[in-house]
Amino acid sequence: MKPAIFLHIQKTAGTSVQEIARAHYEEGSVCSHGEFLSLGQTGCSEHSFISGHFGIAFAKPFLRERYSFTFLRDPVERVVSLYSYLSKRDDDQSQLADFAKKLDLKSFVMRAKEPEFAPKLWNHQVWQLYHGWVSFDMGQNREGKYITQFIDQDETSLLEGARANLEQLDYVGFADSFDHDIREIFQDLGADNIDVPLANTSASHLLDMDSETRETIEEVTKLDRMLIEGARAKRV
């Protein structure tokens, strides 16, 4: 299997990607989710398959020597799925999860530009591909500086930067074509046949969401929508 790096944008079926990776890479050679925060780039480099909720700034040093990919998802579905996930997670003590348990979906989304919540709500997919989480090695103050700069920056520059960085990846998959895309990716990596688990992309609140709530989500994820539409156009 080729060495790989997977930029895991939260709630884009990434857990399924990691299940497949663990079935095909040697035991102990896959790191995932938030492990990069403690491992750093040096620790991650010792793994054959690197994945996690880091952004492109963390991933860039690995791109030349590893096969790189990510998955994108319809931004409304992603936000609703995140809200549904957090509202049911009793073991998650974060402030974002606390608000998900207390607030309705619209009220939750309206906090999207508050600095402590912006990285997961306000154009999250653009954030991950423009810069994204790096590591606690940076220190919280420095990471906070990047978040503030992100939400205050010119939107055209953010989108153009995210698009340019997305071009550096070997494969861009989509949550709604997960089965096809993940087979293509793992074939590229050296696996002839893979078992594809059910992708965790549920968004149960979509069915009862009113138009005003949808419009609110669309407003705080409009750059994500433009990023995905551009990526889809390149696949045609």
Who wins on pLDDT, 137 or 184? 184
> What per-residue confidence (pLDDT) applies to 213?
92
Who wins on pLDDT, 135 or 236? 236
Residues 1-10 pLDDT 10s = 999 999 999 9
Query: Pick from 30, 61, 56, 58: which is nearest to 137 by CA?
Result: 58
Confidence of residue 144 (pLDDT cuts 50, 70, 90): low
Percent of the chain with pLDDT over 90: 66
Domain span at residue 141? 4-235
Instruction: Report the CATH number that the domain containing residue 208 is assigned in CATH.
Output: 3.40.50
Residues 56-111 pLDDT 10s = 999 999 999 999 999 999 999 999 999 999 988 887 778 889 999 999 999 999 99
The token duo for 50 is: 């690197």
Query: Pick from 223, 225, 220: which is nearest to 105 by CA?
Result: 220
> What per-residue confidence (pLDDT) applies to 150?
77
What are the CA-CA distances from residue 51 to residues 46, 62, 185 (Å)? 12, 11, 14
> pTM of the entire structure?
0.91
Query: Pick from 158, 95, 91: which is nearest to 124 by CA?
Result: 158
User: Structural domain tally of the chain?
Assistant: 1
